[in-house]
Chains A and B, each alone.
Chain A
Amino acid sequence: MSTTETTASGIGPVEGAALYDVDNPAPVIEAPRQRTKKTPKPTRGNFEMYGWLFMRLSGIVLVVLVIGHLLIQLVLDGGVSKIGFAFVAGRWASPWWQVWDLAMLWLAMLHGANGLRTVINDYAERANTRLWLKGLLYTATVFTILLGTLVIFTFDPNIR
């Protein structure tokens, strides 16, 4: 911002660095669907509050779980090259790693699903679009969680 220096007023720059100007215009934004006397309908209950808290709490736990997971799988003790059926079977023989993976599966899936629910709420404007996208999201989430849980609990290293 060179202008302030050229004025003889002796007043320094008031504004910080400008984000946009004519050569780099700010993006066009269309008006969203509007709030009226009737919409949105007031909701009861604390669902959104618990969702908000869950994102933060699960995030904190996920930092430990995911970084630990990545270290064990990809970095320590020979990196990716060591991963094979035997390695996975060996880890799942211990209840500690079973619980670790189970917690990671549930938390990451619920965290990710709730995050995507937020994204859908933000971007999908038509009631029908929201319904379908959320239906798809919840189906995929439930399927993945159930399948993953089933595998962790019924995993058999002596499979032929």
Chain B
Amino acid sequence: MATPVLDKVEAEAKAAAYITVTFRVRRFNPEVSAESTWEDFQLEIDPKERVLDGLHKIKWDLDGTLTFRRSCAHGICGSDAMRINGKNRLACKTLIKDINPEKPITIEPIKGLTVLKDLVVDMEPFFQAYRDVMPFLITKDTNEPTRERLQSAEDRERFDDTTKCILCAACTSSCPVFWNDGQYFGPAAIVNAHRFIFDSRDQAGEQRLEILNDKDGVWRCRTTFNCTDACPRGIEVTKAIQEVKRALITRRF
């Protein structure tokens, strides 16, 4: 079969698959107005494309002022968490066909963090909580990286789930306790503490547990499961938080 024919068939199939969707985007520009507003954009797009592709279409072809974060575009860097149709997701992992494109698709910045412009929020409080749990390997006897630190497969399995975190903030910004009081560590910081607390090679688990025993630590969690629902990596966030609570209780009794 000659290649041009195939191209034509593909092109026709592609054109036929295009649909018109409306993206209703929450716009905010502090240089223009203190209020944020909804703006609609009409797009011709393949429904099997992702919301991020739609945002690219807007930024590149319709309105270059639209501001959002993205880097990898493949669910790895964690920069494009946003509230799409009322639910926190990664724009680069959400297919348009999965979120009812017959109606306008609403796209807002994640909640609980100050909006800087359009879909970009100030992540500093989020990363401060992350830094506060000391998310790095701490060893007391041998600090020099002289040899590999060995670990059994079972020991590795113990914290496997929480190693998957990409720090997108979808969980923390879906948590009602965090919405009400940003002093709470938030699920993401606890997930990343969990990753080291249950690592057999790490020796500062006790210290991290003490940090999370804080007034604004794990005890503020109300088990609403919003974080588990939001996590684009499928991490069982609420379970990780409960495991930290259990470790704190069994440490005492």
A interface residue numbers (CB < 8 A to B)? 1-4, 7-9, 11, 13-15, 18-23, 25-26, 29, 31-37, 39-40, 42-43, 46-49, 51-53, 121-123, 125
Q: Which residues of B contact A31 (CB under 8 A)?
A: 111-115, 182
Q: How many interface contacts (CB-CB < 8 Å) are there between A and B?
A: 120
Interface check B219, CB cutoff 8 A: yes
Partner among B83, B86, B179 whose Cβ is within 8 Å of the Cβ of A21: B86
Interface size, chain B (Cβ < 8 Å): 50
Known: A14-B95, A20-B87. A3 touches B101 (CB 8 A): yes
Q: Which residues of A contact B179 (CB under 8 A)?
A: 29, 32
Q: How far is it, in angstroms, between the C-alpha of A66 and the C-alpha of B214 when the chains are bound?
A: 32
B215 to chain A, nearest CB (A): 4
Q: Check B85–A18 contact: CB distance below 8 A.
A: yes
- Closest B residue to A9 using CB positions: B48
Q: How far is it, in angstroms, between the C-alpha of A84 and the C-alpha of B104 when the chains are bound?
A: 63
Q: How far is it, in angstroms, between the C-alpha of A2 and the C-alpha of B101 when the chains are bound?
A: 10
Q: How far is it, in angstroms, between the C-alpha of A52 and the C-alpha of B217 when the chains are bound?
A: 12
Q: Which residues of A contact B220 (CB under 8 A)?
A: 48, 121
Q: Check A22–B181 contact: CB distance below 8 A.
A: no
Q: Which residues of A contact B166 (CB under 8 A)?
A: none
List 25 A–B pairs whose Cβ atoms lie within 8 Å, in order of A's numbering.
A3-B99, A4-B97, A4-B98, A7-B47, A11-B97, A14-B98, A18-B85, A18-B99, A18-B100, A20-B87, A20-B106, A22-B103, A23-B103, A31-B112, A32-B181, A34-B114, A35-B183, A40-B183, A42-B211, A43-B215, A46-B252, A48-B220, A49-B213, A51-B219, A121-B220
Known: A39-B183, A43-B215. A29 touches B112 (CB 8 A): yes
Interface check B58, CB cutoff 8 A: no
Interface residues of B in 210-233 (CB under 8 A from A): 211, 213-217, 219-220
B interface residue numbers (CB < 8 A to A)? 17, 24, 47-48, 83, 85-87, 95, 97-106, 108, 111-115, 124-125, 128-129, 132, 177-183, 185, 211, 213-217, 219-220, 245, 248-249, 252
Q: Check A19–B101 contact: CB distance below 8 A.
A: no
Known: A14-B98, A31-B113, A122-B181. A3 touches B125 (CB 8 A): no
Partner among A15, A35, A121 whose Cβ is within 8 Å of the Cβ of B128: A35
